[in-house]
Amino acid sequence: MMTQEKKMAIFVISDSLGETGNNLAEAATVQFPNVEFEYHRFPLIKTTSLLAGILEQAKRADAFVVHTLVGEGLADYVNNYCSKNGLCVLDGMSKIINTIEEKTGEIPLYQSGRNHKLNKNYFNRIEALEFAVTYDDGKDPAGFEKADIVLLGVSRTSKTPLSLYLANKNYRVANLPLVPKAGIPDEIWKVDPKKIFGLTNDPDVLNNIRRERMITYGLNPDTNYSNMKNIEAELSYANELYKKIGCLIINVSNKSIEETATLIIESLPQ
């Protein structure tokens, strides 16, 4: 007999964009694959009148309320409402802000969206993203010596998405696709090996990725590009090169972009 799938409504409320609250909720809900979660996002909520209507909806849906409200009085309003009406609530900001206030003696600004202001960090991130695009796929070898991070890897080892993810964390990244017998630019040998990361993959995984790629393009999946012997030769070439360079080798087959990026950041020279 089939069991009915459990369902749960989650209301994410913020007086900014709501990314923090949504990330918190998603980080927790992935631990419950047998539950169907229905997300309702309410960004830029800055008045109690708007909150009142949203919370009435939450009450009717018996929702779990997640909020990251920092505007004065808004967090208390939601917390009190949920307490009185038996709704589960996660206040993602108040306790952290209050703890920092107690430890430092500083009075918080209570300004929403502070982390989205156009500050130096924002412009550094834009510069890093432009750098990643300019020096993607080895388009200009001059980028390798300028980069904070250099990624090497055969085709379909997540070099470009990883470059953009790291750029969003303000790292200037250049990457180079590796092709046997094609050689590599002289500039690579001038880079500190601790800044270079060799990406590899399991042959079977890479074969599946490449076949799916060809199918997506409406092409025959059985080509030299997806041929298992060719893939094994490419990976062997790459691994030998990584050993010569003396860089860290990362197998991305069972890692998310976030996991690989964290490993790279933690391995960078201080």
pLDDT at 116 over 60: no
* 125 known member of a binding site: no
Per-residue model confidence (pLDDT) at position 183: 87
Question: Any alpha helices (H) in the chain, and if so which ranges?
Answer: 19-29, 48-61, 74-85, 94-104, 120-134, 143-146, 159-167, 203-216, 228-245, 257-267
Query: In terms of DSSP bridges, do strands 89-91 and 35-42 run parallel, antiparallel, or are they unpaired?
Result: unpaired
**Which of 227, 247, 136, 187 shows the shortest CA–CA distance to 238?**
247
Hey, what CATH class is 120-267 in?
A: alpha beta
* 105 known member of a binding site: no
In CATH terms, are 6-116 and 120-267 the same topology? Answer: yes
* 155 known member of a binding site: yes
Which of the two residues, 225 and 3, has the higher pLDDT score? 225
Q: Where are the domains of the chain?
A: 6-116, 120-267
Hey, what CATH class is 6-116 in?
A: alpha beta
Which tens digits make up the pLDDT trace of 195-206? Answer: 999 999 999 999
Is the pTM value of this prediction over 0.85? no
Residue type present at position 238:
A
Dihedral pair phi/psi, residue 28, rounded to 5°: -85, -40
Which tens digits make up the pLDDT trace of 139-152? Answer: 999 999 999 999 99
Which has the minimum average pLDDT: 57-61, 208-212, 213-217? Answer: 213-217
* 159 known member of a binding site: yes
Average pLDDT rounded to a whole number, residues 56-75: 92
Terminal-to-terminal C-alpha distance of the chain: 58
* 154 known member of a binding site: yes
Which tens digits make up the pLDDT trace of 157-183? Answer: 999 999 999 999 999 999 999 999 888
* 191 known member of a binding site: no
CA distances from 125 to 23, 41, 258 (A): 20, 26, 17
